[in-house]
Structure 1
Amino acid sequence: MYDKKRILVTGGAGFIGSHLCRRLLKAKHEVVCVDNYFTGSRSNISSLMPDPLFEAIRHDITSPLHLEVDEIYNLACPASPVHYQADPVQTTKVSVQGAINMLGLAKRHKAKILQASTSEVYGDPEMHPQPESYLGRVNPIGPRACYDEGKRCAETLFFDYHRQHQLVIKVARIFNTYGPGMRVDDGRVVSNFIVQALGGKPITIYGDGSQTRSFCYVDDLVDGLIRLMGTPDHEAGPINLGNPGEFTMLELAELVIRLTGSRSRIEFRPLPQDDPTRRRPDITRARVSLGWEPRVNLTDGLKDTIAWFRRQIDQRPVRIVEPVLAFG
């Protein structure tokens, strides 16, 4: 018999969260989306509103939440440096106090809970690619620390609740993710490059363009999250979820120019403080434990993403937010 669950998705109106809500509804689960709409948008979930299995609640998880649920996906936190650096104290609060509140909710109802952690816990890594065993190199007092250290502390809390209260937890370390549904003005590298190219503006690269990232299409990422939640209770993670294909910023910019047919030129600017020089996941554990690996290559994923951005730009004026390269 089908095991229908009531599932809470915090940050459910965000980029990844809205895709996850859609997939869970397609599987006929009851989905409760919680979001304070700081970076999430009602437009991301508007098509889900008529579904009787879907419920949206405006709430900030730094305050306690009282619901009866079977599973929790904790995705609530701004992921773009432009947004998490805008209010760094609140970013730390949502990562830490938000995690405490969601862990308390899971403990009360004996619910499984998944933490959307990030590749940023590795900081500017000395080991490449990054396996889950790597402890990272993070500047605890830099401008990115509110996010990096906030997520690291959240992982600590999850594993302490697991050890102290036998809570069933799952921790996913999410690497750069892109796809339809990204904010047009979020300032992250994929969205910035596409918006600049479509507008015929110069494409801004910070540094010399040799720094690398690995880009995972959102559908692949959501599949990984759902697979991780479905693993046996003793398999807590952490597990890297990302695409191991590695591209320099210059390669990404040139690919976006080619796929958009743009005449944009490339401009180089100083690299922001603490921006990682290399980022690539070792997904051996995901392959073995989840039977998961990305299916969508960067070219195909960018084609879909560019088509989505074209539609958004046709509908409204766009303000490009700078500077930013990395995101988790």
Structure 2
Amino acid sequence: MNKTWSLADDLEDVFQRSASVWAELRGARIFLTGGTGFIGCWLLETLRHADLALDLDIKVSILTRDAARFSQKAPHLVEHSSFEFIEGDIIDFAFPKQDYSHVIHAATDASAHLNEFEPDRMFNVIVDGTRRALDLAVEKKAKRFFLLSSGAIYGQQPAEMHHAVETFLGSLDCTNPRNAYAEGKRAAEMLSAIYGRKHDLNIVTARIFTLLGPYMPLDTHFAAGNFILDAMNGQGIVVKGNGRPRRSYLYAGDLAVWLWHILVHGAKGKAYNVGSDEDISIAELATCVSRTIGTGETTVLGANDTGWNAGRYVPDTTLVRTELDLHATVPLEEAIRRTALWNGWHHA
């Protein structure tokens, strides 16, 4: 266990494992939506690190609703000379005048509250935002459009399916408004496929499952983040539900490596699962977090799980391993520890 870990260690690791990517991105002009969120921050952090090391002659335009707010969160990213921040909303932002070689569409409000109480808005933002990003890619004649989708498009995994493979057609109930986020992501993938055929747009997709790492908010609807926050505060971890849903957690450093490789080396028109294939129940996760950084105390209250997916949410990652030779390298316990350290936890 590396007790002296810092984020710089992860950035250097991503840099070293992505050498073939940086060579291909030299001179790139990238438009990035969702660049100020959890995943976007990792893309910017790792790209900045590579640019400082190699002087890549890149330019990145990052769409944001509030550049000043992000400047308080990550001033070093805002001040990086290769990055420019453009204020606007994903569904109607004005197209910049310059051309772009790559469009990375990572913008999605994954708010559980929005999905529950304003599913129409959730669906529309996903679909209309994707259409706007696609229109930009067409107008600017981008050579690559990278859609960050979600493993939610598969819906409820059948009990006998331990890992969802990319060829699984899904089991979403389109009569249930709670599936607005998942159906929106499915529609975004379909819209991208349509644009790909109609405009000969080079599209690749990442279907992202559950993640863990620095920049992940600890106080929203993500169970792992909530558990880490409670453990950091010296509290026992309480699982309100029955603890049976099963998830897997890919560390954000591995995520960044995978996304950069998929952007550059992924096959045109393909979708790749992005996540860990090592699953754990929510109850087991609570115990793991508490033992790693907390008091070791966990309580499972046993209420019926009312979340969007009470079963398994675990990807099959055979495709990304065999085609792109990508692998998860950070164990769950270490991912928990690094996330806590980045958020100010001090180990004994």
Q: Which residue of 1 is the match for residue 59 of structure 2? A: 30
Structure 2, unaligned runs of 5 or more = 1-22, 52-57
Change (3 A) 1:188 1:82: farther
Change (3 A) 1:296 1:43: farther
Q: Which residue of 1 is the match for residue 103 of structure 2? A: 72
Structure 1 range deviating more: 159-168 or 272-281: 272-281
Change (3 A) 1:270 1:203: farther
Is contact 2:246-2:279 (8 Å) kept? yes
What aligned pairs does 1:93-242 form with structure 2 within 5 A after superposition? Answer: 93-111=124-142, 112-126=144-158, 127-231=161-265, 234-242=267-275
TM-score after normalising by structure 1: 0.88
Aligned alpha-carbon RMSD (Å): 2.2
Q: Which residue of 2 is the match for residue 282 of structure 1? A: 316
Match status 1:60 vs 2:89: yes
What aligned pairs does 1:1-16 form with structure 2 within 5 A after superposition? Answer: 3-16=26-39
Structure 1, unaligned runs of 5 or more = 313-328
Q: Distance in 2 between matches of 1:168 and 1:7?
A: 15
Q: Identity percentage over the alignment?
A: 30
Is contact 1:139-1:274 (8 Å) kept? no
Is contact 1:13-1:44 (8 Å) kept? no
Structure 1 range deviating more: 179-188 or 94-103: 179-188
**Quick check: which has more Rg, 1 or 2?**
2
Q: Distance in 2 between matches of 1:4 and 1:27?
A: 13
Q: Distance in 2 between matches of 1:145 and 1:170?
A: 24
Match of 2:329 among 276, 295, 310: 295
- Aligned length, in residue pairs: 310
Q: Distance in 2 between matches of 1:191 and 1:273?
A: 16
Q: Which residue of 2 is the match for residue 326 of structure 1? A: none
Structure 1 range deviating more: 124-133 or 42-51: 42-51
Q: Which residue of 1 is the match for residue 294 of structure 2? A: 261
Shift of 1:44: 4.1
Is contact 1:211-1:277 (8 Å) kept? yes
Partner deviation per Cα, 1:127-168 (whole Å, 9 max, x = no partner): 331000001111224353221100000000011111121101
SS in 2 for 1:85: helix
Shift of 1:311: 5.4
SS in 1 for 2:74: helix
Shift of 1:273: 4.7
TM-score after normalising by structure 2: 0.83
Query: Quick check: which one's helix share is greater?
Result: 2
Shift of 1:294: 1.1
Partner deviation per Cα, 1:282-327 (whole Å, 9 max, x = no partner): 1111012222111111111111001123359xxxxxxxxxxxxxxx
